[in-house]
Amino acid sequence: MKTLLSKKMIITVTILGIAAVVIVVSFILSGQSLCGVPADDLMGMLAISFGLGCVPLIPGTAGALGGIILSLMICRLSIRKQLIAVTLLILVAIPICDYGETYFDGKDASQIVADELFTFPVATIGLPIHQYPVMLAGIFMTNRIIDWTKPPPARAAESLPGGVGVVLDDVVASLWTLLLFSIGWRWYRRASVKRDTFTNDD
């Protein structure tokens, strides 16, 4: 059952990825603009995650939804490779968000959602989200709540200048989420082992 579910998720993510690429390429070729960002401004488009930052009321949540696709793309890698991947994503996000701040002339402007998109995978490192969609949904909701409430040291990170502050704020939220779900997953596995042992003894 888990294997079948995993395959379905991979197929779904692949289809969504291909569709996203087609839409993005078509949009760029059309020469239109989103959130006031011209289609040929690649850094600007990355900052608003190709339109996710234009979603009314919840642009950050829309950006984090895009991050789910990135998480599913790397979740089957070894933890070491996942760490490398998320580090690269963070490093890529910083100059993009820095550019976005300059473009929109504001600290962490709402249109800039590359930080949510590129840092969400931090929250899923080492967790079997491809096998447990409910876990992925829980991680997503928890991540958004933590990002809104900003537990320490999120506000301190946010106060850092430029793209560094924009991105590290979300890294902190994802790390808190990862900590909570890693503890929960470890507890669940131990409880499952004890339950299975007890059942076998009977």
pLDDT digits over 2-29, tens only? 555 566 666 666 666 666 666 666 655 5
Q: Is residue 200 predicted with pLDDT exceeding 60?
A: no
Q: Is residue 64 predicted with pLDDT exceeding 60?
A: yes
Q: Is residue 120 predicted with pLDDT exceeding 70?
A: yes
Q: Is residue 59 predicted with pLDDT exceeding 60?
A: yes
Question: In the chain, what are the domain boundaries?
Answer: 30-186
Strand extents, DSSP E, 57-177? none
Mean pLDDT score of the chain: 85
Burial (Cβ within 10 Å: 0-12, 13-18, ≥19) of residue 185: middle
Rounded mean pLDDT, 82-107: 93
**35-44, 115-124, 189-198 — most confident range:** 115-124
- 169-172: which pairs have CB atoms within 8 A and are 24 or more residues apart? 169/108, 169/115, 170/115, 170/116, 170/119, 170/120, 171/90, 171/119, 171/122
Rounded mean pLDDT, 192-200: 61
Question: Can you read off the two tokens belonging to residue 102?
Answer: 């300059």
Q: Of 100, 137, 135, 94, which is closest to residue 118 (Cα–Cα)? A: 94
